[in-house]
Amino acid sequence: MTPKDLLFHYWEILYPETDTALLEDFLSRLTPQSDHAGNSQSDWYKDAVVYSLYVDLFNKDFTGLMEKLDYLQELGVSCLWLLPILDSPMRDAGFDIRNYDRIRADLLGLDEGFSKKEQEQVFGNFLKEAHLRGIKVIFDIAINHCSDEHPLFAEARKSEGNPYRNYFIWSKDTGLYSNARLLFKGIENSNWEPNGDGWYYFHRFFSFQPDWNYKNPEVLLAMSDNLLYWQKKSVDGFRADAIPYLWKEEGTTCENLPKTHIIVKFFRAVLDYVKPDTLLLAEACQRPREVVKYLGDGDECHAAYHFPLMPMMFKAIAAESRTPVVHTLSPEVTPPIPDNAQWFTFLRVHDELSLELVYVSEEDCKFIHEHYCHKPEWDFRVGEGVSARLSELMQRDPRKIALAYSLMLTLTGTPVVYYGDEFGKLNDKEYYKEQIKLTGKDDTRFLVRGRIDWQVLENVLKDKENFHSVIYTTIKNMLAARQSMKVFGRGETRFLGSPNEILAYVREMPGEKVLVVNNLSSEPQTFNHPFPDENLVVLHNEGFLMDDHREEIKLEPHGFVWFVVVS
């Protein structure tokens, strides 16, 4: 079926008792860009190195970010993931969206009340400069919920008869959807918030973030319009925040429901109808067997985060064992994905080191928390997460930080570098305290955010012996090595037999073959050359030696080596 035919098909599944007039009117306003058909760059995300940042915390605004595009290009970044930039009261770092077609005035460097033309000029200039450097741009869009200051919610809460009431979910019975788990355990007490008139509105996240009601077809089309507006402005893709929760049904957990997948397929078909190479990235904090469903048959999201792999990389280093990673990436845990799909991998992002029991066992949660929650104030979600920067989690040990990056950059998927981690940014206590005062929420995730002081950083990086300079040079060199080989983003992964302390694997595709050997141990280790009839050319290494006969690979504590295998 064509994307247009698919849209009618999905509409009939979601709204069988609603005629197609609304959809037909919606489609009449769209202009397909047929010149994008067959675009060879449609899977560009497989070769990307993604860099995640808050525009204001990174360098004040889009003008400041443009000034640092050369820095990012030199680092080896090919895609920017902009954390929330849309208009927001900023009670949840921008995930509480007030207007979906407006960027926050402070990020644009404009006064409140700016025009669309002014917005498009500033943001358009930034996109142009990024694209000139070969850097794609995607950004976050929360499609499950909005801010309680959104104009439609402000209308909806006025009265039961308000025309926008049905855009959200209301009840006088807070026992409705009682099987929906509390996502912010320890922060929120209920999924229902009183409106002050005897009615309650439903929310899965903070109480100031009402959920959209996708049982109302107007909501589906309005959100589609939001995506299309930014697609037309040349944004390269969207990180679809909190997608498992879109559709609600009584008697269910309200997660991963069949009609949620139909909604995502609808969004994908809409984007493909207009411009097929626009990335849709799933933020589905679930087990891989559930997450792969958001990739569909190549007809839902193009890519998804591999949430369980992240904590298992940390466990592998703490336990000095290959098993957590090998098991997590086994077919029993991580099912195959469509050829055009991709996993996104990460060590740290703007959130905590998540140990949600939805995809981490209680035993693993306890083990990882005990080994990485070095300070009580880092605790998040009552033991189900650790709020700390990578350098803090690794106790500022350059060897462990490099080893963690070796795993992320060479295992399956597209890597995400969290801003500041490339130079070992530390937890920001002052920013944490500032945000508690601003939001009224003791959210320890604020520790892992914070601003970059570029004047201080540039001076620090000049000192080659400084911790931050050592980390920066190491990560930059690793990114360059990764980008020199397409196999890291596209090749198959085959684990090799080895001692438990060694994690060794081959990444291979036609014309390229790489051997990666990681020492997870705090003691030196040796590993026999697995391909004695082939030559090994060092691509990158930290703490590696090879004997004169090239039979044994010798690794220092937490050392690793990447080889190009030459027949």
Condensed to tens digits (0 to 9), the pLDDT of residues 84-141 reads 999 999 988 899 999 999 999 999 999 999 999 999 999 999 999 999 999 999 999 9
- Whose structure tokens read 């039961």? 160
Contact at 8 Å (CB) between 328 and 532? Answer: no
If DSSP codes are grouped into helix, strand and coil, which group holds residue 314? helix
What does the pLDDT look like over 432-478, one tens digit per residue?
999 899 888 788 999 999 999 999 999 999 999 999 999 999 999 99
Q: How confident is the model at residue 547 (pLDDT cuts 50, 70, 90)?
A: confident
Nearest to residue 390, comparing CAs of 479, 317, 291? 317
Listed in order, strand segments (DSSP E) in 1-135 are 50-53, 79-82, 86-87, 99-103
CA–CA separation, 453 and 439 (whole Å): 23
Backbone angles phi, psi at 537, to 5 degrees: -110, 125
Catalytic residue (one of 236, 241, 255, 379): 241
Q: How would DSSP label each residue in 512-556?
A: EEEEEEEE-SSS-EEEE-S-TTSEEEEEEEEEEEE-TTS-EEEEE
Q: In the CATH scheme, what architecture does the domain 145-211 have? A: Alpha-Beta Complex (3.90)
**Per the structure block, which two tokens stand in for 71?**
């820095």
* Average pLDDT along the chain: 95
Catalytic residue (one of 43, 272, 283, 501): 283
Beta-carbon count within 10 A of 120 CB: 14
Query: Greatest CA separation found in the chain?
Result: 82
Beta-carbon count within 10 A of 46 CB: 16
* Catalytic-residue membership of 377: no
pLDDT at residue 486 in the model:
97
What does the pLDDT look like over 471-528, one tens digit per residue?
999 999 999 999 999 999 999 999 999 999 999 999 999 999 999 999 999 999 999 9
CATH number of 45-144+217-483: 3.20.20.80
Q: How confident is the model at residue 41 (pLDDT cuts 50, 70, 90)?
A: low
- Whose structure tokens read 């139909």? 262
The domain segmentation of the chain, as residue ranges, is 45-144+217-483, 145-211, 491-566
Output the pTM of the full model: 0.95
- Dihedral over alpha carbons 549, 550, 553, 559 (to 10 degrees): 110
In the predicted model, what is the mean pLDDT of residues 199-228?
A: 98
Q: Which amino acid is at 262?
A: I
* CA separation, residue 500 to residues 247, 330, 524 (Å): 43, 16, 13
**Per the structure block, which two tokens stand in for 332?**
């029993």
pLDDT at residue 381 in the model:
82
What does the pLDDT look like over 46-68, one tens digit per residue?
999 999 999 999 999 999 999 99
Q: End-to-end distance of the chain based on CA atoms, in angstroms?
A: 45
Contact at 8 Å (CB) between 217 and 14? Answer: yes
CA–CA separation, 216 and 490 (whole Å): 40
Nearest to residue 503, comparing CAs of 369, 303, 317? 317
CA–CA separation, 21 and 69 (whole Å): 45
What does the pLDDT look like over 380-434, one tens digit per residue?
988 899 999 999 999 999 999 999 999 999 999 999 999 999 999 999 999 999 9
Nearest to residue 138, comparing CAs of 229, 270, 231, 39? 231
Contact at 8 Å (CB) between 500 and 331? Answer: no
Task: Using the Cα atoms of residue 557, residue 558, residue 559 and residue 563 in order, give the sign of their dihedral.
Answer: positive
- Whose structure tokens read 């909501």? 219
* Catalytic-residue membership of 241: yes
Q: How confident is the model at residue 34 (pLDDT cuts 50, 70, 90)?
A: low
Percent pLDDT > 70 in the chain is 99
Are 45-144+217-483 and 491-566 equal in CATH topology?
Answer: no
If DSSP codes are grouped into helix, strand and coil, which group holds residue 162? coil
Query: Up-side HSE of residue 417: CA atoms within 13 Å toward CB?
Result: 28
Q: Does domain 491-566 have CATH number 1.10.150.20?
A: no
In the predicted model, what is the mean pLDDT of residues 70-85?
A: 98
